[in-house]
Chain A
Amino acid sequence: QQKVQQSPESLSVPEGGMASLNCTSSDRNFQYFWWYRQHSGEGPKALMSIFSDGDKKEGRFTAHLNKASLHVSLHIRDSQPSDSALYFCAASEANSGTYQRFGTGTKLQVVP
Chain B
Amino acid sequence: EAAVTQSPRNKVTVTGGNVTLSCRQTNSHNYMYWYRQDTGHGLRLIHYSYGAGNLQIGDVPDGYKATRTTQEDFFLLLELASPSQTSLYFCASSPGQSNERLFFGHGTKLSVL
Question: Is chain B a partner of chain A in the same complex?
Answer: yes
Give A contacts to B, CB under 8 Å.
2, 4, 6, 31-32, 34, 36, 41-46, 49, 51, 88, 90, 92-105
| Per-residue interface assignment for chain B, residues 85 to 98, with 1 indicating a CB less than 8 Å from any chain A CB and 0 otherwise | 00000101000111
A49 with B42, Cβ < 8 A, contacts A44-B90, A97-B50, A99-B58 known: no
- In this complex, which of A96, A97, A100 has the most chain B Cβ atoms within 10 angstroms of its Cβ? A100
Query: What separation, in Å, do the CA atoms of A101 and B33 have in the docked complex?
Result: 12
Residue of B nearest to A106 (CB): B42
Query: What separation, in Å, do the CA atoms of A74 and B4 have in the docked complex?
Result: 26
Contact B45 A44 (CB under 8 A): no
Q: Does B75 contact A (CB under 8 A)?
A: no
Contact A43 B106 (CB under 8 A): yes
Contact A46 B43 (CB under 8 A): no
Contact B98 A102 (CB under 8 A): no
Chain B residues, CB < 8 A from A31: 99
